Chain A
């Protein structure tokens, strides 16, 4: 009974946090792009005169979306048309279940791993869910009875295939180094140190090329600029061209949820997840010999904080990329995916294998 309750709280908490971060991202996106472009950004929505730096725009947008007409075009496959946005959002959200947001919390001699689902195949689970997400895109394009939407869906499928392979191949390096696909174990393994204890053994330090490949492929996975070919709002509007109201909002949200998921995944795989540098389960051990003992609870809280700070940084980076680069042309996209990223990731696997064999 207790175990179920703990799991319930954990999963509800994870869902709540991630959903809220994604909702907040609508505001972050507007504000960050504004500050980047020397503007002020959304600051008009107010409740009783309180503007809260435009934070209420997220609520205003939501209310607007909810009060709009739900339109189903003539000749559309109604069932698939209605199903598609839910698929998009749900598969993006389910991925968070396997992401460890903190270390082991000890409460009354219970060891609670701060991870909604302690899967030993966590990585495969997340990748499966991320690739299922494309069904939402394809079905939306397929069922709308609109050529532009169809084109968008097809582009989405092609792009997803091209970049999914690179993404899978890119993380092979990390899996080979840490020898696990259980993300909690992977995070723990990243608590080791290199260079005589100075450099944390994070994925990015042992697999730098892998990190850049994953960053690129994962950005493509979120279907946002510069890889927003399925959307391509200036040329084909995209797979959700026929959607209105909250169903469009769900596609919009799915993109942002995927951004958070990708940021969390990058944190987990390459930046030590909840690891804080020099923080061990019983306190700080600095390489210059200093030691500060900490009990379990502050260590776990520091870990969770560190995880969310890293996630916030990656969200910032993805947003910065999104507001800096123009969209790729379709042939450039395919060239980059198949001719540069995929060979590079395969070479990375080969080099990693050789080095691991030599080092024993």
Chain B
């Protein structure tokens, strides 16, 4: 931090100001001049190589052991091999919706329109029809959920009086080639 002045045009009115500023910044940032030994880069080089090599040989040992089927529990990498090996999800995570079923396989939904009403994204569209059982009154003739619009707020699940819609499939990889394919109907929602 010496001879800072030489880096600035002495004629410039801001030079003195800038130098003072830099000196103050240097002081505040708690930095210091490197010693000669540190300037050779060797200590940091060696400690850096030591750190990366430690990881390298540790991981390599376990990768090789895994080839022989030993020590499978200790992982050689912190990554998940995603499509084959999904990450563990929290049970309260809101994932893709599903319609729960009654014992006879029909949807639990009674088409009360609560979810359709509460939905802030307006992605649910229910067509109600009369259920033959007078105790149930209504059932959804069609239950359309546009995942392209859904914001995954979970209001529909909270508001449902019949526990008919849940967001616990654990599906996150919702990708389709067209917007139309993002629109899920009753059949697709009841698949799992």
Contact = CB atoms under 8 A, between A and B. Distances in A.
B86 to A, nearest CB: 16
A20 interface: no
Tell me which of B40, B52, B78 has the highest count of chain A C-beta atoms within 10 A of its own C-beta: B52
Q: How large is the interface on A (under 10, 10 to 19, 20 to 34, 35 or more residues)?
A: 10 to 19
A173 B116 CA distance: 84
Contact of B56 (A35, A40, A340): A35
A180 interface: no
19 contacts: A34-B77, A35-B55, A35-B56, A35-B76, A36-B53, A36-B59, A37-B55, A38-B76, A38-B78, A39-B77, A40-B77, A40-B81, A320-B49, A320-B53, A323-B52, A324-B45, A324-B48, A324-B49, A324-B51
Contacts of A336: 41
Contact of A40 (B45, B48, B79): B79
Contact of A36 (B45, B56, B78, B81): B56
Give 6 closest A-B pairs by Cβ, nearest first.
A38-B78, A324-B48, A324-B52, A36-B56, A35-B59, A36-B52
B64 to A, nearest CB: 11
Interface string B54-91: 01100110010000000000001111010000000000
A226 to B, nearest CB: 9
B52 A320 contact: yes
A38 B79 contact: yes
A4 interface: no
A255 B123 CA distance: 55
Contacts of B77: 34-35, 38-40
Nearest to A216: B41
A325 interface: yes
A36 B58 CA distance: 9
Tell me which of B51, B77, B81 has the highest count of chain A C-beta atoms within 10 A of its own C-beta: B77
